């Protein structure tokens, strides 16, 4: 899943138009790099970021969605606002990626009737404005797991089939460095929830905390993290660097496929 941010560059006179054009050009670049899904977001969810209005978010996201509608690639929209979800679905979104796991009033109802739309339910403690102030857990893995199980149940109770759901532990969303790495180490514990796992680690500060690199220079650590997440059971990785991540994951796939063939060979030899 390639990341497309549509957040206006405050240094640019082109404002919203230019950010949309940049986002569309970047989306095409990530498609060329081999992205399988694009995730388009019009509101930053970084720690301390400010919320934008519904209209502002729609003005950012919808033109990009519309411009990419013919590109054949499944488009995800990263939003927690029910109004944005409805418009994004009407404009052709294949997935709603909600860092708030459909907890906002009206969010479950906004997506439930659209049977072709997938939903990513992410764990977050607090809100992007406050989440890194003092994150606390008695057992990070168990609490994230319990939360995701509850949100799966809430979605199912609202009429959303389990096949439409993807879950995400929300790396960096209300978690200390230790919480994040404990979660990564035990990511496989979430696979027993029976829903595909998405992991977003790309360029996050937990990686910079280890290497000391600033966000734009965290490519190697992002690829390592994506690979580890996949080894631990992630089915989708949300990344900035699509080509490099795909090439790293191709090696993992080759290893798995060869291992599977070896098992086939040794079982057929027994017959
Ligand atoms: C929008 N966004 C930023 N980080 C993310 C993550 O880790 N997962 C998901 N699903 N969305 C994210």
Q: pLDDT, tens digit, for every residue of 245-269? A: 999 999 999 999 998 887 776 666 6
Q: Please tell me the distance from the alpha carbon of residue 240 to that of residue 182, in angstroms, as a whole number.
A: 23
Q: Ligand 1: distance of its center to the CA of 138 in Å?
A: 23
Contact status, residue 6 vs residue 61, Cβ threshold 8 Å: yes
> Which of 255, 243, 218 is closest to 36 using CA atoms?
243
Q: pLDDT, tens digit, for every residue of 142-156? A: 999 999 999 999 999
Show which residues are catalytic. 204, 238
Ligand 1 atom at minimum distance from 120 CA = 10
Q: Please tell me the distance from the alpha carbon of residue 6 to that of residue 139, in angstroms, as a whole number.
A: 35
| Residue nearest ligand 1's atom 7 by CA | 200
Indicate if the pLDDT at residue 271 is higher than 60. Answer: no
Q: Please tell me the distance from the alpha carbon of residue 48 to that of residue 81, in angstroms, as a whole number.
A: 18
Q: What pLDDT score was predicted for residue 13?
A: 46
Per-residue pLDDT band for 11 (boundaries 50, 70, 90) equals very low
Work out the percent of the chain whose per-residue pLDDT is above 70. 94
Ligand 1 atom at minimum distance from 46 CA = 3
Per mean pLDDT, which range of 11-20, 64-73, 234-243 is the poorest? Answer: 11-20
Structural tokens at position 25? 């050009």
Q: pLDDT, tens digit, for every residue of 95-124? A: 999 999 999 999 999 999 999 999 999 999
Q: Please tell me the distance from the alpha carbon of residue 44 to that of residue 129, in angstroms, as a whole number.
A: 10
Q: Ligand 1: distance of its center to the CA of 99 in Å?
A: 6
The CA-atom distances, in angstroms, between 237 and each of 36, 56, 193 are: 10, 28, 18
Q: pLDDT, tens digit, for every residue of 162-192? A: 999 999 999 999 999 999 999 999 999 999 9
Kindly report the average pLDDT of the chain as a whole number. 94
Indicate if the pLDDT at residue 38 is higher than 70. Answer: yes
3-state SS assignment for residue 199:
strand
Q: Please tell me the distance from the alpha carbon of residue 96 to that of residue 98, in angstroms, as a whole number.
A: 6
Give the distance between the most distant pair of CA atoms in the chain: 71
Q: Please tell me the distance from the alpha carbon of residue 185 to that of residue 211, in angstroms, as a whole number.
A: 18
Q: What pLDDT score was predicted for residue 7?
A: 84
> What are the pocket residues of ligand 1 if the criterion is a CB atom closer than 6 Å to any ligand atom?
41, 45, 78, 97, 99, 120, 122, 168, 170-171, 198, 200, 238
């Amino acid at each position: 899943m390639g990341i497309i941010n549509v957040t206006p560059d405050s240094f640019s006179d082109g404002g919203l138009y230019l950010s949309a054009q940049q986002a569309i050009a970047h989306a095409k670049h990530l498609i060329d790099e081999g992205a399988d899904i694009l995730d388009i977001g019009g509101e930053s969810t970084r720690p301390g970021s400010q919320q934008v209005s519904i209209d502002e978010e729609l003005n950012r996201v919808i033109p990009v969605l519309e411009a990419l509608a013919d590109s054949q690639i499944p488009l995800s929209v990263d939003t927690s606002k029910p109004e944005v979800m409805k418009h994004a679905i009407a404009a052709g979104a294949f997935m709603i990626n909600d860092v708030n796991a459909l907890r906002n009033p009206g969010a479950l109802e906004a997506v439930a009737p659209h049977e072709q739309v997938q939903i990513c339910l992410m764990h977050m403690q607090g809100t992007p404005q406050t989440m890194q102030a003092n994150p606390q857990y008695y057992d990070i893995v168990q609490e994230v797991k319990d939360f995701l199980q509850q949100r799966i149940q809430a979605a199912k109770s609202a009429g959303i089939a389990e096949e439409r759901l993807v879950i995400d532990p929300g790396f960096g969303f209300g978690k200390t460095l230790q919480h994040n790495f404990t979660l990564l180490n035990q990511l496989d514990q979430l696979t027993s929830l029976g829903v595909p796992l998405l992991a977003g680690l790309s360029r996050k500060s937990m990686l910079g905390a280890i290497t000391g690199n600033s966000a734009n220079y965290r490519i190697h650590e992002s690829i390592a993290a994506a690979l580890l997440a996949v080894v631990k059971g992630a089915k989708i990785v949300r990344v900035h660097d699509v080509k490099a991540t795909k090439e790293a994951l191709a090696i993992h796939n080759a290893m798995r496929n060869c291992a599977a063939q070896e098992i086939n060979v040794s079982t057929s030899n027994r017959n």
